[in-house]
Amino acid sequence: MKKTMKKMQSKTYAQHRILDGDAEIYRHDRSGDIWQYRFYNETENKHYRISLKTRDYDEAVRKAKAKTIDILTRIQGGRKLYGITLQTLVNLYIKARLEDVDDERGITLGRVKSIKSQLTYCVKILGAKKRVSSMDKKCLKDYVQLRKLSHNARPYTAKNEITTINHMWKWGYNEGLTSFYELVFNKVRVKASSVGRRDTFTDKEYNHLCRYMRTWILDKNCFRHTKYKCAKTGRWLKGEYVFSKELQLEKQMVRDFILISANSGLRVGEQRQLKYSDILGYEEYGADDDNEQVVLAKVNVRWRTSKVKTTRTFLSRGGQYFKRLRDRQHFTEGSDLIFSMDGKHKLSVDKWTEYWKQLMNGIGIEYDRTYIVDEEGDFINDEDGNRTFTGRDIKYYSLRHYCITSRVKSGVSVVDVAKMCGTGISQIEKHYMHYAEEQSRAAALKSFTTKDGINTPIDSLTKKKLLQDEEINEYGTQRLTLQSKYVH
């Protein structure tokens, strides 16, 4: 009985051929008086069906003819009619980008991973099974707002993702997978203030971290459980809790990684791919203000490992840490990775993450953001509609920010900082020039004296007696002296 009813409901009637039988319009019981359209694509061996959304016969014929001409044009142009899913399009695009990972084109595997991550949110919003052929040009026009609702993404993050999405769409169009050239998005306006400051360490926090790492690498803090295989079950079980020299070496390497990062401003990826052959030499200078010798390392960042695909060579403070690493590690040939236990393989991401957690918990920094929710589990937003959170986004990359911040605060030319760190002047200004107030204060306090017709610059602060109580001076600024072994 059910089969009979189903057959009756899907009964087709009032069929009319269009354009010599290439297509047809028809009605069926389920659509009532609404005309339907059907086209058989021999290439894909599938029927293409849509509703013409009209009860008028002449209007239906006109729409059907226009649709048929459009379909035939797309087929002749080598485009898919029925279409693939959005997830399939993403997979094909990622596969194509993986083929571009080579020295000639200069696309890194890390960049492909970033692209894949950016496209993930597009798929989540529209649905992995969404047919590309059914998508409208404006289906993601409110992408910035959609991303804000989904993962509280900032406008500049959404803007970068939009660029990636449209690049994929244009690639799909050229491959005959999409029917139009690009998607249409609402214009994204990113104010300089909305970019925000980079989360980084304060001088006091970094000083605390340096002191804590001395204890962190001691023998008493380098114990781990041995492992043995159970003869009965074949499972690995925990054994004795003993001192591990390997664990201590790993911790010492991580410590030097942190110190070098804060001194050099290297990106995390660039630093982890450094080889001993990339250290071109050292320069040693006499004692600095803290009566310590300054060692500079001449670091070469290969274009293959650089995010901006440009080779750069610069002098970095903290050369003694590179020397110390070479003296301690067992694999130190020119082709060996500096931050590796065997010279060939990088430390796993899980280990880097675990060590970072230990260090941040050790110095009492809430290094990860936690979004605040109400009693019903809904996110609590601020006045601007952004989700409120506790904690800070402090990670290994924050050491690069700390280095750049220290250089800017020290009055180093923005041009010189940009060259050393392999970034653009605009990026420095956008992310780090909130320290302009401190520089402005220093500039305002500068003066000069004239002797024998020669102007000599002086700092007005040198004329004032600094108050020693609680390490606070008369300008309300905390006095904190960092030794060169910590930062620069």
CB 269 within 8 A of CB 263: no
399 and 260 together in one domain: yes
What number of other Cβ atoms are within 10 A of residue 110's Cβ? Answer: 13
258 and 403 together in one domain: yes
> Which H or E run contains 232?
none
- Note whether residue 293 is domain-resident: yes
- Report the distance separating Cα 221 and Cα 214, nearest Å: 11
Residue with tokens 């979004």: 371
- Report the distance separating Cα 460 and Cα 49, nearest Å: 81
Q: What is the CATH number of the domain that holds 273?
A: 1.10.443.10
- Note whether residue 340 is domain-resident: yes
Angle between the 245-264 and 319-328 helix axes, to the nearest 10 degrees?
160
- Note whether residue 479 is domain-resident: no
- Report the distance separating Cα 417 and Cα 403, nearest Å: 10
DSSP secondary structure code for residue 235 in this structure: -
- Note whether residue 476 is domain-resident: no
Q: Are strands 312-317 and 454-459 parallel, antiparallel or unpaired?
A: unpaired
pLDDT per position in the chain (488 positions), as tens? 344 434 444 577 778 888 777 788 888 877 778 888 888 877 667 777 888 888 898 998 899 888 888 777 766 666 655 568 899 999 999 999 988 887 655 677 778 888 999 999 999 999 999 888 778 899 999 998 888 887 777 788 888 999 999 999 999 988 888 878 899 999 877 655 444 456 789 999 999 999 999 999 999 999 998 888 888 888 888 888 899 999 999 999 999 999 999 999 999 999 999 999 999 999 998 765 556 788 999 999 998 888 888 899 999 999 999 999 999 999 999 999 999 999 999 999 999 999 999 999 999 998 877 767 667 667 676 666 666 767 788 999 999 999 998 888 887 888 888 888 888 887 777 776 555 555 666 666 666 666 676 766 665 544 444 334 444 433 333 333 344 444 44
183 and 53 together in one domain: no
- Note whether residue 346 is domain-resident: yes
Count of domains in the chain? 3
Among candidate residues 51, 69, 47, the one with its CA nearest the CA of residue 60: 51
- Report the distance separating Cα 432 and Cα 248, nearest Å: 36
145 and 222 together in one domain: no
- Report the distance separating Cα 75 and Cα 81, nearest Å: 7
- Considering the entire predicted model, what is its pTM? 0.66
Question: Which residue, 53, 76, 99, sits at the end of a domain?
Answer: 76
- Note whether residue 466 is domain-resident: no
At residue 215, the pLDDT reads: 96
At residue 247, the pLDDT reads: 95
- Note whether residue 481 is domain-resident: no
Query: What residue ranges in 22-179 does DSSP mark as E strands?
Result: 23-28, 36-41, 46-51
Among candidate residues 262, 267, 339, the one with its CA nearest the CA of residue 108: 267
- Count Cβ atoms within 10 A of the Cβ of residue 122 and give its class: 0-12 exposed, 13-18 middle, 19 or more buried: buried
Phi, psi of 432 (to 5 degrees): -125, -5
Q: Cβ contacts of residue 274 below 8 Å, gap of 6+?
A: 266, 299, 301, 305, 337, 338, 339
Both tokens assigned to 297: 């390392």
> Which H or E run contains 64?
helix 57-76
Question: Which residue, 22, 50, 76, sits at the end of a domain?
Answer: 76
- Report the distance separating Cα 145 and Cα 280, nearest Å: 49
Q: Cβ contacts of residue 225 below 8 Å, gap of 6+?
A: 238, 239, 240, 241, 242
- Report the distance separating Cα 158 and Cα 446, nearest Å: 43
Residue ranges making up the domain that contains 129:
86-195
The distance of Cα 353 from the centroid of its chain, to the nearest Å, equals 16
118 and 53 together in one domain: no
| Local structure of 219: helix, strand or coil | helix
